[in-house]
Structure 1
């Protein structure tokens, strides 16, 4: 099955090619034991923050299953995939007939990754299972992430999950499982992954050869919040400068604050700035949500409600702007003005 490399961050290793995973030893052990018991669930919901290794874990487990198709004779641990093994080579080349990786497709007209996993992509799973496996091996579908399924696609996946084929395995990834259809969640075994601890972050970043600026190391690790993807966006996409500018903007007032708004809006509307734009929107959503929760815990319910409503309003505004391809700079200026008002 064709394997797209689109969407892989600069400096990252595509999960299908990554032979190392850090910080999730317990989850790996659980999957290995569950599979070896012969009583493993046909669908596992691997959930947790973005960029902590969910997709890498899914491909490691898929490699394990395809290499040891008989659960009773499989090792009791997930080994690092051997890049020279035929299974690994097939997966890396996208040539395995036993694995389907569903993710947002690339728009042939624009060359950019689409905003959602559509029902046409999910239909590939139907064709995938309809094919006869020449090896009689497992058939594995990785949905990466299921958060990107639009409603029609989610309903189509649900139908397959309700009546899974024999020797079928679904590895469903999610950054925000609360947004998934409850019926999809109910048909999956949840496996929660935590943010990487400092040691695991150091190991993962060292593997990527990511050099953190000495004067910003502590700031980057704090802002990364245990996510390798966030660390890459902070360092390789200028995210740390954007967030520092946002903090300075929130602390400023008058003309100085307005100047910082334009600086941020310029950076986020630059050509090929989709990654840092999405990163900042995620940060802004977290900031507003955290502020609302903090105020609510202090008993300041009026201001907590204000920030909660502001978060909802801004998300709606950004959704509309993206749908109608409105001017990014002006949209971001409007958003920042609302935040500082």
Structure 2
């Protein structure tokens, strides 16, 4: 039975390991080999940007690389591939617990006053980097800073990090995780070696879900839909199977497929995705709505409907902004869900 030892994060899922404590890394073989080889050759870039969709293993790869550096402080003696994680080592336990002296993990901080995680990585979090780097590593090894995800930084935080990236101390590695590459400052992107990671294939996704103990649909069609809608993201697959995501997605499609907006069905959808202990379902709804809008925009562009594609792209931006405002200002979530469905139905009506 899984027992969590890592600190809880803003996006922690029950019974699913945090990247810091996850010994399982599936896929990304070329990136893993390249990073291990660069380290062994003494040519590892001081700032890495791991970019790709959410939930494909970017942060897990970052922690595996950090553990590799801590386990092999002499790069010339390091193996030419990332080691299989040994759960019994002190380095792994310290890393998993967020207590390794060589690692600083920056993510959305928890607000004791508000009793919830903040919606951004603040400049106060980034200021911790200077204090961390002012301390000498106890064994003369690497110090690793992981920013997870970097696209959660507000402008002040991003500018503060930029100063650290410009002149890092020796034997310092920055690893930035990015779900939305384009949201990062161009000046930050230019100072990093970008490694674009691809979504997991169907085989890799099923293997990882199996190793995590997740139950997959038994029916062939249901399994196909899960793999298709997951988009190569194990996080999306877990959400779809364990938190009602498949049902939410089916309801959204049913409403959008009607010639007129089904207000009663939209109300039932809102009831199912808001309220106490429904944060995951609310996040799922917003993700599904944004993905549906993005897919429609991409299809319109492919069909040569330039104006329609532009309108849908603008709608995506507006819906994303609305979602952030609901979280920041604690607005009415039920009204948000119903309003989103109304806007989507109207925007996609001429595509049916």
Length-normalised TM-score, structure 2: 0.92
How big is the shift at 1:92?
Answer: 2.1
How big is the shift at 1:3?
Answer: 5.8
Alignment correspondent of 1:109: 113
Alignment correspondent of 1:303: 308
Counting matched residue pairs gives 339
- The whole-number CA distance in structure 1 between the counterparts of 2:96 and 2:325 is 38
Alignment correspondent of 2:231: 225
Alignment correspondent of 1:239: 245
Q: Structure 1 residues 8, 317: closer, same or farther in 2, change over 3 A?
A: closer
How big is the shift at 1:161?
Answer: 0.4
Q: CA RMSD in A?
A: 1.7
Moved more, 319-328 or 82-91: 319-328
1:33–1:76 contact (8 Å) kept in structure 2: yes
- The whole-number CA distance in structure 2 between the counterparts of 1:241 and 1:324 is 28
- The whole-number CA distance in structure 1 between the counterparts of 2:233 and 2:36 is 24
Q: Which ranges of 4 or more aligned residues in structure 1 deviate by more than 6 Å?
A: none
SS of the equivalent of 2:117 reads coil
Deviations 1:139-186 (A, max 9, x none): 001111101111111111110000101110011111111110111111
- The whole-number CA distance in structure 1 between the counterparts of 2:310 and 2:190 is 31
- The whole-number CA distance in structure 1 between the counterparts of 2:81 and 2:147 is 23
Alignment correspondent of 2:31: 27
Tell me whether 1:145 sits opposite 2:143 in the alignment. no
- The whole-number CA distance in structure 1 between the counterparts of 2:260 and 2:284 is 26
How big is the shift at 1:319?
Answer: 3.1
2:6–2:21 contact (8 Å) kept in structure 1: no
SS of the equivalent of 2:304 reads coil
2:274–2:281 contact (8 Å) kept in structure 1: no
SS of the equivalent of 1:214 reads coil
How big is the shift at 1:254?
Answer: 4.1
Alignment correspondent of 1:286: 291
- The whole-number CA distance in structure 2 between the counterparts of 1:282 and 1:41 is 33
Alignment correspondent of 2:46: 42
Moved more, 293-302 or 261-270: 293-302
1:11–1:232 contact (8 Å) kept in structure 2: no
Alignment correspondent of 2:257: 251
Deviations 1:272-323 (A, max 9, x none): 2222222221222222122122122222334333323322332333333333
- The whole-number CA distance in structure 1 between the counterparts of 2:316 and 2:178 is 22
Deviations 1:173-204 (A, max 9, x none): 11111110111111110111100011111110
2:122–2:153 contact (8 Å) kept in structure 1: yes
Where does the alignment leave 5 or more consecutive residues of structure 1 unmatched?
Answer: none
- The whole-number CA distance in structure 2 between the counterparts of 1:133 and 1:305 is 51
Deviations 1:183-232 (A, max 9, x none): 11111101111000111111100111100222422221111111000011
How big is the shift at 1:246?
Answer: 0.5
Length-normalised TM-score, structure 1: 0.95
- Counterpart selection for 1:5 from 4, 8, 13: 8
- The whole-number CA distance in structure 2 between the counterparts of 1:89 and 1:317 is 40
Q: Structure 1 residues 312, 18: closer, same or farther in 2, change over 3 A?
A: closer
2:104–2:132 contact (8 Å) kept in structure 1: yes
